[in-house]
Chain A
Amino acid sequence: MTETPKPIAALADTGPTAPPRSQWRDVWDQFKSHRGALAGGVILVLIIVAVFIGPHVWPYDATFIDIRARNQGPSWAHPFGTDQLGRDTLARMMAGGQTSIAVGLTAMLLALVLGSLVGVLAGFFRRLDGPLMRLTDLFLSLPLLPLLLVMVLLFREALNGTFGPERGIFILIVVAIGVTSWMPTARIVRGDVLALKEREFILAARSIGTTNFGLITRHILPNVMSPIMVSATLGIANAIITESALSFLGLGFPPDFPTWGRLLNDATQYLQDYPERVFWPGLGISLTVLSINYMGDGLRDALDPRIRGR
């Protein structure tokens, strides 16, 4: 009789011991290991909390004019000082941050929806690919900043009349930035959709009779989420910088309606006498954009399965 061979320990079939992990958990673990991204995320959350909760705690209103206390340096009552009309700079910074971040988020959402729509349509339907990509190329070769300036200047009055001065300029700037910044997203999404379309699971889904709409929403879109999220983070940074640039050139929000770019523009007029005033709004813009860019970097690494787990 032959002996039954002793089982080799290394070949023993033990079965998975660790509980199953979701994809997003892996992504989060990878994201955590990118120190810059984590720091960026924390700073961004702090800025958002400060800007949106701060005004409820802080006693001064951003538009409250105290002409006796004008042009003051930093003190306990006004940690960032006051401006030429005696308005509290800290309160104005918080109000400006709300607008800047709100513009960034909304413009990014608009650009993302437009870009994903164009990208998915161009990648999925071969007949639309040519025309839509030519359109993208055309938009890419438009001189964007001059056109934005022209759009804002020309349509400001009309929209102010319909929606009121604040909401009118908000809609105008968000739409102008969104319409001129969807192209990179569209290109990336189209490339990914083209590659996905040839995969077996799409063929399988199609063979059981899934409609095009179902294919796109259930199978294609979840798989192109990661490039969309990365371009979303970079889109916020881009939109904040563009809005500040417009306000800085005096073609953005009206003077009594603070945004960080507008505050910077106001401060440059008093550059000779009060040079320290340019510091806070500039720091606000730069820090927000820097932390968003770091988050985008970390997110790109975390969502790339070739890097993840290494």
Chain B
Amino acid sequence: MLTYTIRRLVLAIPTLLFISLVIFLLLELAPGDPMAQVPLTVPPDVKEKMRLALGLGEPTHIRFVKWMWQFFVVEPMMFIDWLFGTALAEGQQRVLSWQFRSPVMDVVVQRMPQTLWVVAMSYVVGILIALPIGIYSAYRQYSVFDQTGTFITMVGYSVPPFFSGVLVIVIFSVQLGWLPSIYDTTLVVVDWQTFKLQLMQMVMPVMVLALQTTAQISRFMRASMLDNLNQDYVRTARAKGLSEWSVVMVHVLRNSMIPVITVIALGVPSIFGGAIITEQIFKVNGLGQLLITAIQANDLPMVQTVTFIIAVLIVFFNIIADVLYGVLDPRIRYD
């Protein structure tokens, strides 16, 4: 298992390099010019200097290697500096954002907590709702609960977040006026009052993202439970007089969780993609909104870095899912 994990981690390196190259070339081939906004009265030699200041003077392959050096060497060194107070990255140039004129990673670190709060919370809430629904609708297959549950998950699966999000804003903010429609990130939780405000502004984005998660995972949970409920070992467990609770919640559930856990791990990066839209609706200034504004402002280093961070998350959670599958299911042998 360990050798498999190491092999996968080693294989992830060329994958990530290829992905970063694809993103870089895509941005490079783009016909847009980052200097297009500069007024025409600026003389050409000054314009040339501005291009050089943005790091656009060098040929493509040198800029790609420089970006990789900055991303993989300088930024981790900055992180170590910040952690231990050392001065490894003293005087090294970092990946600079064109629109903020400051290091990209600083902006990313500023935006990260908002995204993590909303996204992580919604994922946890979604899973907590999905598992009981999946278990119970499989246990009572074709019952009224199962039929309604299947219909609701199908609806949740089909209604895109940009409609469900707007719909809950219309209902709860515009018509009823219960919840704020804009997520206020300057709010600091100090006492009960602000905690309540924070809770109220988180309800809608979290529930909209959680609906998608719930729909997907409860479908998987139901299918996986149904596969296991008709197996011989379940009959054996019942025959030897185990209580129904321990048959379903211990024997069947443990076996059914194996594929579901890998689905949960695989879904983590895709929720960041969903967060792009949800953050746009609720005006959360997280990573997704950062990416959208960077794309609109033609801020190529920012787009490159944020997209690559999402790619790293995808590759990393793919490996986690595969390794978990092998660890949990002794029938799977990778070696």
* Interface of A toward B, CB cutoff 8 Å: 36, 137-138, 140-147, 149-151, 153-155, 157-158, 237, 241, 244-245, 248-249, 251, 261, 264, 267-268, 271-272, 275-276, 278-279, 282, 285-286, 289-290, 293-294, 297
Across-interface contacts of A237 in B (CB, < 8 A): 158
Partner of B295, one of A150, A248, A276, A278: A150
For the complex formed, measure the closest distance between the CB of A93 and the CB atoms of chain B, giving whole angstroms: 14
* Interface of B toward A, CB cutoff 8 Å: 15, 18-19, 22-23, 26-27, 29-32, 151, 154-155, 157-160, 162-163, 166-167, 169-170, 174-175, 181, 269, 272-273, 276-277, 280-281, 291-292, 295-296, 303, 306-307, 310-311, 314-315, 318
Across-interface contacts of B162 in A (CB, < 8 A): 244-245, 248, 261, 264
For the complex formed, measure the closest distance between the CB of B247 and the CB atoms of chain A, giving whole angstroms: 26
Contact of A138 with B18 at beta-carbon distance under 8 Å, contacts A150-B26, A154-B26, A155-B30 already known: yes
Q: Roughly how many angstroms separate A88 CA and B35 CA in the complex, as a whole number?
A: 41
Across-interface contacts of A244 in B (CB, < 8 A): 160, 162
Find out whether the CB atom of A249 lies under 8 angstroms from the CB atom of B292. yes
Find out whether the CB atom of A278 lies under 8 angstroms from the CB atom of B166. yes
Interface majority SS on A: helix, strand, loop or mixed? helix
Contact of A147 with B155 at beta-carbon distance under 8 Å, contacts A157-B32, A271-B170 already known: no
Which of B162, B281, B295, B296 has most chain A Cβ within 10 Å?
A: B162
Output the nearest chain A residue to B166 by Cβ-Cβ distance. A278
Find out whether the CB atom of A142 lies under 8 angstroms from the CB atom of B273. no
Find out whether the CB atom of A146 lies under 8 angstroms from the CB atom of B306. yes
Q: Roughly how many angstroms separate A153 CA and B19 CA in the complex, as a whole number?
A: 19
Across-interface contacts of B295 in A (CB, < 8 A): 149-150, 153, 251
Across-interface contacts of A261 in B (CB, < 8 A): 162
Find out whether the CB atom of A157 lies under 8 angstroms from the CB atom of B163. no
Contact of A138 with B277 at beta-carbon distance under 8 Å, contacts A143-B307, A157-B31, A286-B163 already known: no
Which of A141, A155, A249 has most chain B Cβ within 10 Å?
A: A141
Output the nearest chain B residue to A272 by Cβ-Cβ distance. B174
Find out whether the CB atom of B155 lies under 8 angstroms from the CB atom of A275. no
Can you name 8 A-B pairs with beta carbons within 8 Å?
Answer: A141-B315, A145-B273, A146-B307, A150-B303, A264-B162, A271-B169, A272-B174, A289-B158
